[in-house]
Structure 1
């Protein structure tokens, strides 16, 4: 990806400049980031997706000031003429090619951090109340208009009488109305409140992964332990004295446990493998349709639901890790970066790598790419 060229997407900044000046630092309002803007879905599309049990969706209503939250599947939406409701559909990029294409515009942020595209549609006055996110977000106005108020609030107190995380003491510092094609970037922790101005307001939200240290450790430790080969030293205590306090934890056992955890982390490339597998693990509601092997002379592209990363010695795809070196590593990294390989590049893979690619195609992780 070319990161040094200015782009209207970032108000004339290059991706490199944006990352230095704004990423996790300060907001950026971009007028006509998209000109023209093409919503990746219609209201009918979103309603159909919200009715499915494999799609994460929510319906937020504030009729007569009474905030209500309903988790999907949602069989029927209120009329667009009725003010005060919002439908949110998460992970739209997993279901619609146009949504995946929109998400890919933000790959100047590492894929390991990029999460998904959520799209909301709202009637007049619809919103989810003043709140803050623990991750960066790009808010794209896809249709209609939305009035935003934002503030760098550090003393937020949440209401305890509503089923959403709504700030009770919201203190906005700036406000603006976003028209179709406009975009607002907010760093983590910035309080914001968006209210639809008129019916048919559609907003896209590009979100990012922001794991906590505890959460990441909880994901990685089981994977590290899964790699154990069973040859580890068994605990012994030949110098244990007779216990006068039998319920007290033996200090030697605690030391043994600490050394065992440290050894698991320090196995060569173990942490890298565990992290790559965890970051590419598909979400619980994602599955792939089985397909056939790639036809001779065909290129390959990643399925829009596939997550692929790499490090110095591994390729990671959908929660699994593979060793790669030489030309195969170069080509597999290109597949991860470009999300596709042309037929000529596929033809340069070794027999072993091509067999692996065919297996990925059978699993539905990779799709044929015609050239």
Structure 2
């Protein structure tokens, strides 16, 4: 694994996290010195031919109108019929298919792994763009090949006017506050909701590192349902000590405040919240991809003594918590020794030494068997 970045350009990571993370944009010149793209535009187009890969094409002047969206998989004829300019190919989760791209995520481990989502890579023809828009998540935009002009606008939200003629969230109005031309190795950080518009200057490739953040709606809906399962029916709204009502039909402020206090008390279950949060933040984005690698639990017992470790599937996600000691893998909580859970979540591999040290994880139908059977743990490639 590569070491996490200690600086963004000349800025210490601690300063970035204190003054910029989720607060304001930052241009980082030469964030990766002498950067060479791990994938070419032609190779990216080849990935977009595969059914298992999520891909999209955005044409600024499409057959169906402005900012036309097409979804993959595509054919070679689709690419041959594209105009010479003003289009962009976007491929999701390239890190799940190319180890060279997956390794780039290690540089961002100054932020918890469970916050980082997949790595999207876009290839744009000259003047290609996905239009002025905003995202609900933080993103680092690393220029990989060619040049791209980034225009950054103000923070916007759901109330900002959008074009109604396209399924894309294209902003109807865009006011440029900053403008930068990025070259290979340069990187732009954008917090959530900052409007931006990237336009290729000649053909170019951009690598996007996006971060997960569950919405308030999901948290309230999903967490409430999870916690409600353990609340007895006898646990109800109470108003002991209430004053005599002067207006019997009113939902008075005291009653509302009392309910808020009771809700807060019902939520005082940090271990339950940790279990829910760990499962949600490690939910795999493409479960079918993980399932493709499901193995026979008996096989690893033959290979492991030969010195071959088991590796976390590139499409899988993992994290751990201390209270109670739990390893989360692909949205599932597994009780595990804390020392093992910590080591595995950090290293993403299981060695024979781990088996000898933590014998309980190797029991029949135990943790290792379960992870191998669901495809979360895989055998290393032949060139490992």
Fold match (TM-score > 0.5): yes
The answer on whether the counterparts of 2:37 and 2:145 sit within 8 Å (CA) in structure 1 is yes
Kindly report which structure 2 residues correspond to 1:159-170, keeping only aligned pairs within 5 A, or say none: 159-170=163-174
Kindly report which structure 2 residues correspond to 1:172-191, keeping only aligned pairs within 5 A, or say none: 172-191=176-195
1:307 corresponds in structure 2 to 317
1:204 corresponds in structure 2 to 207
2:378 corresponds to 1:367: yes
Deviation sequence 1:286-334 (CA, Å, 0-9, x none): 333123325214333312111111111211111211223xxx3112211
SS at match of 1:48: helix
Distance 1:341 1:207, change over 3 A: same
SS at match of 1:152: strand
Distance 1:154 1:232, change over 3 A: closer
1:127 corresponds in structure 2 to 129
2:374 corresponds to 1:356: no
Task: Identify the match of residue 329 of structure 1 among 330, 338, 359.
Answer: 338
SS at match of 2:114: coil
The answer on whether the counterparts of 2:290 and 2:376 sit within 8 Å (CA) in structure 1 is no
Cα deviation for residue 263 of structure 1 reads 9.9
Please list every run of 5 or more consecutive structure 2 residues that lacks an aligned counterpart in the other structure. Answer: 236-259
Cα deviation for residue 224 of structure 1 reads 4.5
SS at match of 2:344: helix
1:111 corresponds in structure 2 to 113
Cα distance in 2 between the residues matched to 1:22 and 1:329: 33
Name the TM-score, length of structure 2 as normaliser. 0.78
Cα deviation for residue 338 of structure 1 reads 2.4
The answer on whether the counterparts of 1:146 and 1:179 sit within 8 Å (CA) in structure 2 is yes
2:67 corresponds in structure 1 to 67
Cα deviation for residue 234 of structure 1 reads 8.8
Between 1:328-337 and 1:112-121, the stretch displaced more is 328-337
1:220 corresponds in structure 2 to 223
Please list every run of 5 or more consecutive structure 1 residues that lacks an aligned counterpart in the other structure. Answer: 236-257
Deviation sequence 1:181-203 (CA, Å, 0-9, x none): 1111111111111000012x100
Cα distance in 1 between the residues matched to 2:118 and 2:358: 31
Task: Identify the match of residue 194 of structure 1 among 198, 202, 207.
Answer: 198
RMSD: 3.2
Kindly report which structure 2 residues correspond to 1:339-350, keeping only aligned pairs within 5 A, or say none: 339-350=348-359
Cα distance in 2 between the residues matched to 1:81 and 1:180: 25
Cα distance in 2 between the residues matched to 1:148 and 1:182: 11
Q: How many residues align?
A: 341
2:300 corresponds to 1:293: yes
Name the TM-score, length of structure 1 as normaliser. 0.81
Cα deviation for residue 123 of structure 1 reads 0.4
